[in-house]
């Protein structure tokens, strides 16, 4: 057994440090407003980072085959947690969405745990069958049922952004596991039909689509966030205003420490800074693929590919949405945005990848 993959360790450390510095700057105004001190969110973020590092350290020490043994109980546990958000006094609602569980001393987001547990379960499930039997009843129908159950719970919250990440990651895993393209195309068409009805069911979603198609309309309404993001990204120029010198974070840019933090990064580090960040994100993808391909067994390969795809696809959707290439989704930027559950789960996922690399 060899040492953990050093390049992945280095890349992750750079992404974490980038997140700490950018969040420290992005949270100045909102921290002062909500807590009366400048770095309240930064201190909380550091706590999440330390817990995440501990989770990564533990995960890299656990043989990755262990996850295969607890795949089903882990998925059931995460689905139970996801259901608890709808219970009074337990579920915590913010901005019209019920996505959190309030444990009084801490608030957790079960959807982040579900991302991890579903990848583990699908990797185990596909590994068990090894897709030698690709009949409609044995493979595709159970896969659709699993995704359908998860989708219903996420739609009810609602958390369409997370649903998009899970859908993409799951389909990617199914394909890597040997699934037929024709089956995935039919599922994609079914997803488009379902998405149409989901959008039509809520006026604000329809407004988001209209804003995406015409981003200059309703500048002070539904188009406010995306246009403020454009201003931040554009005013950064080539080299940026300088770390801590951005303007849009001062009560102009909504969710400056959440899903809009890439705009803060662009304003303060410029086009060059965003390119460097994208280069490190691409390097993360490269190492994840490399580790997965070198895995000693099929389960490790699927697990590595799934965890890598989950993190990178979420980052891609976030960046594309803030850049106006996709409708705004409300999902955080991995390793950068403020959020405890996401940071801990992402770093735990890195820990699992590091353990796979030890057995390569």
d(CA 41, CA 47) in angstroms, rounded, equals 10
Asked whether residue 216 is domain-assigned, the answer is yes
* Residue-level pLDDT at 96: 64
Asked whether residue 183 is domain-assigned, the answer is yes
How many structural domains are present in the chain? Answer: 1
Q: Which residues pair with 261 in a beta bridge?
A: none
Asked whether residue 129 is domain-assigned, the answer is yes
pLDDT-derived band at 108 (thresholds 50, 70, 90) equals confident
d(CA 48, CA 53) in angstroms, rounded, equals 9
Evaluate if residue 53 carries a pLDDT over 70: yes
R_g over Cα of the chain = 20
Measure CA 64 to chain center: 21
Asked whether residue 182 is domain-assigned, the answer is yes
Contact 229, 267 (CB under 8 A): no
Domain hosting residue 55, numbered range: 6-358
> Could you give the 3-state DSSP secondary structure of residue 31?
helix
Task: Give residue-wise pLDDT tens across range 231-273.
Answer: 999 998 999 999 888 888 887 888 889 889 999 999 999 999 9
The mean predicted confidence, pLDDT, of the chain is 88
Asked whether residue 1 is domain-assigned, the answer is no
Asked whether residue 193 is domain-assigned, the answer is yes
User: b/e for 105-128, b at 16 or more Cβ within 10 A?
Assistant: eeebbbbbbbbbbbbbbbbbbbbe
Q: Which residues pair with 128 in a beta bridge?
A: none
Evaluate if residue 105 carries a pLDDT over 80: no
Query: Pick from 276, 282, 267: which is nearest to 323 by CA?
Result: 267
Query: Pick from 297, 292, 296: which is nearest to 124 by CA?
Result: 297
Task: Give residue-wise pLDDT tens across range 266-312.
Answer: 999 999 999 999 999 999 999 999 999 999 999 999 999 999 999 99
Q: For the ranges 129-143, 191-205, 331-345, which has the lowest average pLDDT?
A: 129-143
Asked whether residue 348 is domain-assigned, the answer is yes
d(CA 210, CA 330) in angstroms, rounded, equals 17
* Residue-level pLDDT at 264: 94
Asked whether residue 345 is domain-assigned, the answer is yes
Task: Give residue-wise pLDDT tens across range 139-195.
Answer: 888 888 999 999 998 988 888 888 999 999 999 999 888 888 888 888 888 888 888
**Phi, psi (rounded to 5 degrees) for 240:** 85, 165
pLDDT-derived band at 67 (thresholds 50, 70, 90) equals very high
**Overall pTM > 0.85:** yes
Q: Which residues pair with 100 in a beta bridge?
A: 92
* Residue-level pLDDT at 272: 96
Evaluate if residue 360 carries a pLDDT over 60: yes
Q: Higher confidence at residue 29 or residue 94?
A: 29
Per-residue 3-state assignment (H helix, E strand, C coil) for 224-280: HHHHHHHHHHHHCCCCCCCCCCCCCCCCCCCCCCCCCHHHHHHHHHHHHHHHHHHHH
Evaluate if residue 324 carries a pLDDT over 70: yes
Contact 292, 305 (CB under 8 A): yes
> Could you give the 3-state DSSP secondary structure of residue 98?
strand
Contact 108, 156 (CB under 8 A): no
């Amino acid at each position: 057994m060899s040492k953990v993959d050093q390049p992945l360790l280095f890349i992750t450390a750079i992404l974490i440090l980038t997140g700490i510095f950018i969040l420290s700057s992005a949270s100045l105004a909102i921290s002062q407003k909500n807590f009366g001190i400048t770095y309240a969110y930064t201190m909380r973020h550091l706590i999440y980072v330390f817990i995440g590092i501990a989770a990564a350290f533990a995960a890299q020490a656990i043989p990755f085959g262990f996850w295969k043994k607890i795949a089903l109980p882990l998925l059931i546990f995460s689905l139970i947690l996801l259901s608890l958000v709808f219970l009074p006094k337990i579920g915590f609602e913010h901005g019209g969405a019920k996505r959190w569980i309030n444990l009084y001393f801490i608030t957790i987001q079960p959807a982040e745990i579900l991302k991890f547990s579903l990848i583990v379960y699908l990797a185990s499930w596909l590994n068990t069958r090894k897709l030698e039997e690709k009949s409609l009843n044995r493979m595709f129908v159970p896969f659709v049922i699993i995704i359908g159950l998860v989708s219903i719970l996420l739609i009810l919250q609602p958390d369409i952004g997370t649903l998009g990440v899970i859908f993409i990651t799951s389909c990617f895993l199914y394909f890597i596991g040997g699934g037929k393209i024709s089956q995935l195309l039919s599922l994609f068409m079914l997803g488009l039909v379902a998405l149409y009805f989901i959008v039509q069911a809520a006026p604000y979603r329809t407004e988001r689509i209209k804003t995406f198609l015409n981003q200059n309309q309703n500048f002070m309404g539904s188009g406010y966030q995306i246009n403020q993001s454009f201003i931040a990204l554009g005013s950064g120029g080539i080299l940026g205003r300088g770390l801590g010198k951005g303007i849009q974070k001062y009560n102009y840019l909504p969710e400056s420490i959440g899903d809009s933090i890439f705009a803060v990064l662009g304003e303060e580090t410029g086009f060059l800074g965003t390119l460097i960040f994208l280069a490190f994100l691409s390097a993360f993808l490269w190492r994840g693929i490399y580790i997965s391909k070198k895995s000693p067994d099929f389960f490790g390969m699927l697990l590595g590919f799934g965890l890598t795809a989950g993190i990178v696809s979420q980052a891609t959707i976030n960046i594309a949405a803030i850049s106006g290439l996709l409708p705004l989704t409300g999902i955080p930027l991995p390793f950068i945005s403020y959020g405890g559950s996401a940071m801990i789960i992402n770093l735990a996922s890195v820990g699992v990848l590091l353990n796979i690399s030890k057995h390569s």
